[in-house]
Structure 1
Amino acid sequence: MEVVVMLGHGLLLVVAYCTAATAVPSSECQRQCGNVEILYPFGIGTNCSMPGGFGVTCQLDQNGFSKPFIVGRELLDISLTNSTIRVLNPITTYCYNDSTSEQLMLNGTTTVTSDIDRNSPFHFSDVRNKFTVIGCNTLGFIANNNSGSEYLTGCFSYCSRNMSNQTDNSCSGLGCCQTGIPKGMDFSLVNLCVIKDDASNTSQTREGVGQRCSYAVLMEAAAFSFRTKYITTTEFRDMAAGRAPAVLDWFIANETCEVAERNLSGSYACCSANSKCSDATSVSVGYVCNCSRGYEGNPYLPDGCKDVDECNIGRPCPSDGVCHNTVGGYRCSCPTGRKYSQSNNTCVPNTGLIIGVTMGFLGLMIFSLCGYMIYQKRKLKKVKQEYFRQHGGLILFETMKSEKGLAFTVFSEDELRQATNNYHKSRIIGKGGHGTVYKGVVKGKPVAIKRCTLIDERQKKEFGQEMLILSQINHKNIVKLVGCCLEVEVPVLVYEYIPNGTMYELIHGRNQELQISFSTLLRVAQEAAEGLSFLHSYASPPILHGDVKTANILLDENYMVKVSDFGASILAPSDKEQYVTMVQGTAGYLDPEYMQTCQLTEKSDVYSFGVILLEVLIGEVPLKLYGPETKRSLTSNFLSAMKENSLSTVVPSHISEQESTELIRGLAELATNCLDMCSSNRPSMKEIADELSRLRKLSIHPWVQLTMEETESQRLLRGPAHTSFETESSVIEYSGPDGANQLINPASSFYAR
């Protein structure tokens, strides 16, 4: 009871404040003038409107009809919801008569000033109004000088010789043009300039045109629809006696809601208990009032916002339900045995029991999950305290668990020791700058287990980085990360086992008598490009490899390519701003631009891949430590040959003799594009993969055709025309010293970096 009394006293206090501060009009005030309802804060007569320029005068026109006026304009209507009024704004007009034989005026100008008292609460609406110009060869300007803030704009309306080119409802510059105005405009100077066009000053053009007029006006955009007859007649000017509707925004006071609400006993205008204050959008300082949600009416009057009976407006509840109006809203109820579903506004069977069981099951699952997480947390507690902190694993693990989830297996140290026979040296299958790789068997499947040998701070971070990158990749040409071990001092990664060596061994193998077919090398290069293209274009986020070379391109049991070794990789920044990093990679493959800027980009990988294409085409290593200095760099030697148009001097004879000129030239040009010194000129890995696919077709179907006299052995020795390559088989064949075909079985040191 005390609460009700206090609320009543508060309401009476607000009403008293509003009555004293805003001079709430009496019931004797005139509320209608002609066809326009005058809503408070507007009013007619003394003490019938809110102070500050909301007074309206009701006048009789020449026909004896009552019309309201405000700020020197006829008032059409008032909107409390939008805080706008519609008025008639004067039209700037210029007409000339071309029905006589008199010469047309060279130009004509006329100016109309249309201002509003700057101290009034009104401004031309920049949202609902457009500055409109109508006429032939007419240039209209509108200027504003609002408290020192100057503004000038306009548009030009043109007419062609044939008046039929002008069309109705089109105000795009041909006979009519429009432009917007700035926010807060309260003073406008309209200048209209008609320019004579000698081409139009002919009897043929003027014939039948008669009175031709030009207009300029700031008016309501929604109220205007262009008609071609506006140009040849005075109809537009005659409309509403030379006036057009315009929209004015209005606001209360020159203060924000925050300031106004502090002074309820002063001039605060939102008198209704169910009203809310909003800062005006048309000016920098000012506010307006609206009824709260679920209420409608006049927020500027005490108890002016009335509750909306939603039950009488349409059917807010389902047909078999009952609507109950509430203060500021409504609620729906359903017959016994059914329950109201707010999501689809229907009465559905009561599923309380099902929900209860479901919630209980979910609670049990959550409890079990929490118990499991606690168990795992205790199990890894010591590791997190020691080794995780040492090589950045704790932050990485928490990040992956919260954002990506554990997409791989976390092995125990005992499992990996058992798989590698306690890391016996006989299990070593590769050593490199980033660690030692062992062959092991886990759950009956062969795996490659990599132990990081570098334990400085930078290399410890590289381990976590490689684990994060590889856990997100799933592509047939990218080596797959099976899992990792976090219980050891030296970080360990577990990969899928790739048994058939590297692309480096395929090209530069120890047995020089092995001659790998050029078609096989092209296939390997294309698959490597597909893998790198996936990293650049389809991984989320994109991944930059950072150390692309033939030694990092592996071959699995089906001789399919697997791109490996992501120790120097980075995730492409999402904000497109590249990280500045310490230069890493392999000499001979490094992008010169990357070496200068220390900024690794996808085009850095493209440059390195261009070096791989040279190894495929020329068969030499990227960098030699012997021989003439000018011949040590494969890239420099190749680019010099291309510049001198002497490609034949660097391409081996067995390739130039067996492969088509188009294929060799195409591969050389592709490599040249990849090795461009400007990274922006290099192709993407996707484009490289597509081009290699096209070049492979040249290798699979060469220009030289087999003859009936060739022996089967001779046909096999040719290599590129072999049937296995026509079907794009992944089996790699070569011609041995005795001329017979043999399968390659490269050394298993495929993980050597």
Structure 2
Amino acid sequence: MFATLIYAANDTKPGCQSGCGNVTIPYPFGIGDGCYIDKGFEITCTKSFITNFLQPFLVASNLKVYEITLDQVYVQLWGARTCFLNSGETSSIGYNLKGGPFTLSSTNNKLTTVGCDMYAYITDLDTQNRMSGCVSLCQEGNTYETNGSCSGFGCCQTTIPSGMKAFNITMVSINTPNKFWSIAYCSIVMVEQGLEIDTNIVPFKGITNFSKSSGLNWAIGNKTCNNINWRETCGNNSYCIDSPYGQGFRCNCNLGYRGNPYLPKGCQGAVGGVGVFLVLALVFQIHRKLKKRKKLMLKKKFFKRNGGLLLEQQISSGGRNAEKSRIFVTQELEKATNNFNESRVLGKGGHGTVYKGMLSNGRVVAIKKSKIVDESQIGQFINELVILSQINHRHVVRLLGYCLETEVPLLVYEFVSNGTLSKHLHVKDHISSISWRDRLRIMKEVAGALSYLHSSASTPIFHRDIKSSNILLDENYRAKVSDFGISRSVSYEQTHLTTLVQGTFGYLDPGYFHSGQFTEKSDVYSFGIVVVELLTGQKPVSVTRSEEEANLAMHYISSVKEDRVFEVLETRVANEARKEEIQVVARLAKKCLKLVGKKRPTMKEVVTQLENLREL
């Protein structure tokens, strides 16, 4: 006898409008009072003035809706478009999903830029951190037909972190338009779903082939399944799962049932005769086996997805110190952070969140938790783990251990109590708390750490993202270099790495930026920017400064050439430093910032010059 499955034909609440135009509106979304679960899911249906067709909109954010599923909502395209920006100028547009149950999806969206010599990035407005970005370059005489790719020449694409509710999309021109493309110099940046680049597109004529919607993740409320009576929300034959995208929960139909789990009788499965007995017996056996093996299978799944196999390969191929790192269990790290409570957050970056925790032995640690489970990003966590395990230097943050058998990978490292150098330098409305003596020592400590990475580590290491926010300070303002997510080891025979451009705008070596070749001198350039920050107290790039001063490196170099370096010093530096010290450090910074990498000193030479300051 065959079993026939019957599913619910209507996904809306009884008596409610089932759709708007050609878009189906499933519950918990709804049109009209009593038809949605709460205001964040309210839909309004209006007629377009242009097409005269009905169109659904999210009431909370006034976004046009293209499709609603029980996983995601697809809304009007996020984007920004600009033409004829001069070098250093920016164009920005902001979006706010607060007031609704939505976050930007990292799986169905990519940050995409089409145009010439443009840097585009997305900023989390809650943290003011740049979360992701890419650079699109052009060169005179090349039409840059994309051939279906978007690799950085005329067009660039990059992944974005999940979980953002309020964000800015910003474009920065990194080159003044010339005669080659001055007639039609346009760029467009968007966060969009499934972009396929037209094979014949010319980047400075804009973009003609892209999707019209962006994906949003959604969840119910802001509590987990353990903290609510989810039976009041989920229907019969269903169960509750915590949202994988952040706060809130979701409902799913039980095994053998399908339909809308948010409706009282939304999950259905009808069978008859002998089929009932056979199906129930089979389900019972499967359920019993799955329950018994669930924890083991989950651990294996997470270990594989989080790069455990890659870690084993790294260890077997030379990164053997990683074996000495402690393997933490999930329960211990959850207890240490009060279940990763928001009150324990130390900072958020493009690839993860760092929490303050206390282990069972009383030791305070910092625990880095990934925001994403995208396998293309996991390599950066494993890379950081292996590199940190090879490093033994008092001015490099020390890895204590890791946990890969969790939903997202976790790195446990020493806690550095006084925050980042950036936080102390760029203080609003008053002078920085860091004295000139401390600044000078911080320069020496960071230079010593980089010299060690380049010359003294078992295998030379290029950090590739030196910046003031990646330099941590302890209670005595002693420096620790951190965040090795995009660092790379190289053999002694290698002189450079050829990679897609990664790093932070404002600290990037111009040579690396244009060639894609990263050398140890590229770290020297980034260190030079940090030195200028320590001298001036200014950020590397700022749209609030005048056009001539927007790029700190260029403004500083011109000041040194014109013998005006004392005019750009921060007040505290000018008051506390000796003239001879400023002159030596100023000249050293200028050397580090030379456009041609070969003319820059090595970090070993930088250390020597800084140590010679003791003799002044």
Query: TM-score, normalization: structure 2?
Result: 0.50
TM-score (norm 1): 0.41
Q: Which has the higher contact order (CA 8 A, sep 6+)?
A: 2
